[in-house]
């Protein structure tokens, strides 16, 4: 068998299945906050329905605007559970995928699509089992004749995505956590949930003004050292 430039492109280290399962319990907003408010893709990339969620290792692909040839390559090479992350250059004048590709992804066990580009067959896919996050909708189909890159770092929605990074998405959008940062981010996420639960309890008990607000106002020079908001 002859070798091709795509040999071994899927042989990268992925965030572990155990960490992916742990990440599923957190909202994308929580993970983004504890990751330093970094990793959130541009708000134009949203789920086809507000109930869609996904979590898994990134399988990045770069395509040329309006062309999905390398998307098909990624779909053929990605492993079960992978999230195919497509740098489509934000092009929205034709779709990069539709029902046929989504059906193939479901059969292959792919964990979802995240696309900086347009999707079509939205009614069918929006009610289907494959989580899809895209930058727009367009009925026009793509061309299939231009080269790109698969299994290497891409930039999508103003964020760098490396092969094997953790991708989590829900109704708020998509966040990407570098693979090596995931254990620390998940630990911080557990701590944040505990702190938020405590704050919710305080609100229920009548402490309506956040305890940190006075200090923040003093640091910003809004009130004096001896002043308080209330």
Query: Residue 4 — very low, low, confident or very high, per pLDDT cuts 50/70/90?
Result: confident
Determine the Cα–Cα distance for residues 111 and 176; give it in Å rounded to an integer: 15
Share of the chain above pLDDT 70, in %: 99
Residue 105 has pLDDT above 60, yes or no: yes
Tokens of 62: 């770069």
pLDDT digits (tens, 9 = 90+) for 118-148: 999 999 999 999 999 999 999 999 999 999 9
In a domain, 64, yes or no: yes
Domain, as residue range, for 85: 17-186
pLDDT digits (tens, 9 = 90+) for 56-73: 999 999 999 999 999 999
Contact 161, 155 (CB under 8 A): yes
Query: Residue 1 — very low, low, confident or very high, per pLDDT cuts 50/70/90?
Result: low
In a domain, 51, yes or no: yes
In a domain, 228, yes or no: no
Determine the Cα–Cα distance for residues 124 and 107; give it in Å rounded to an integer: 16
In a domain, 8, yes or no: no
The DSSP-derived string for 26-48 is: S-HHHHHHHTTS--BPPTT-EES
Residue 2 has pLDDT above 90, yes or no: no
Count: domains in the chain: 1
Query: Residue 165 — very low, low, confident or very high, per pLDDT cuts 50/70/90?
Result: very high
Give the pLDDT score at 181.
98
Apex 48 CA angle, 148 and 34, nearest 5: 80
Distances (CA, A) of 11 to 58, 78, 82: 12, 10, 12
Determine the Cα–Cα distance for residues 79 and 57; give it in Å rounded to an integer: 10
Domain at 162, CATH number: 3.50.30.40
Tokens of 42: 């541009």
List CB contacts of 110: < 8 A, sequence separation 6 or more: 75, 78, 80, 81, 82, 83, 84, 130
In a domain, 32, yes or no: yes
Query: Residue 225 — very low, low, confident or very high, per pLDDT cuts 50/70/90?
Result: confident
pLDDT digits (tens, 9 = 90+) for 181-198: 999 999 999 999 999 999
Give the pLDDT score at 230.
85
In a domain, 199, yes or no: no
Residue 80 burial class via C-beta count within 10 angstroms: exposed 0-12, middle 13-18, buried 19 and up = exposed
In a domain, 204, yes or no: no
In a domain, 150, yes or no: yes
List CB contacts of 64: < 8 A, sequence separation 6 or more: 89, 146, 147, 148
Distances (CA, A) of 43 to 62, 133, 134, 157, 214: 20, 11, 10, 8, 32
């Amino acid at each position: 068998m002859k070798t091709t430039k795509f040999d071994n492109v899927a042989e990268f280290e992925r965030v572990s299945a155990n960490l992916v399962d742990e990440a599923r319990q957190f909202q994308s907003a929580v993970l983004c906050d504890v990751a330093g408010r970094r990793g959130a893709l541009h708000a134009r990339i949203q789920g086809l329905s507000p109930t869609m969620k996904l979590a898994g290792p990134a399988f990045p692909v770069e395509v040329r605007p309006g062309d999905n040839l390398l998307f098909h390559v990624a779909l053929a090479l990605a492993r079960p559970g992978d999230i195919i992350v497509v740098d489509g250059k934000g092009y929205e004048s034709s779709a990069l995928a539709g029902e046929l590709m989504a059906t193939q992804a479901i059969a292959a066990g792919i964990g979802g699509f995240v696309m900086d580009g347009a999707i079509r067959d939205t009614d069918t896919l929006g009610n289907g089992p494959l989580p899809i996050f895209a930058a727009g909708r367009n009925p026009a189909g793509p061309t299939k004749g231009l080269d790109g890159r698969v299994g290497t770092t891409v930039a999508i929605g103003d964020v760098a995505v490396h092969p094997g990074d953790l991708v989590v998405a829900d109704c708020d959008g998509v966040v990407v956590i570098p693979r090596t940062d995931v254990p620390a981010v998940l630990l911080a996420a557990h701590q944040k949930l505990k702190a938020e639960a405590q704050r919710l309890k305080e609100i229920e008990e009548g402490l309506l003004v956040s305890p940190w607000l006075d200090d923040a106002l003093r640091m910003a020079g809004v009130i004096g050292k001896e002043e308080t908001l209330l």
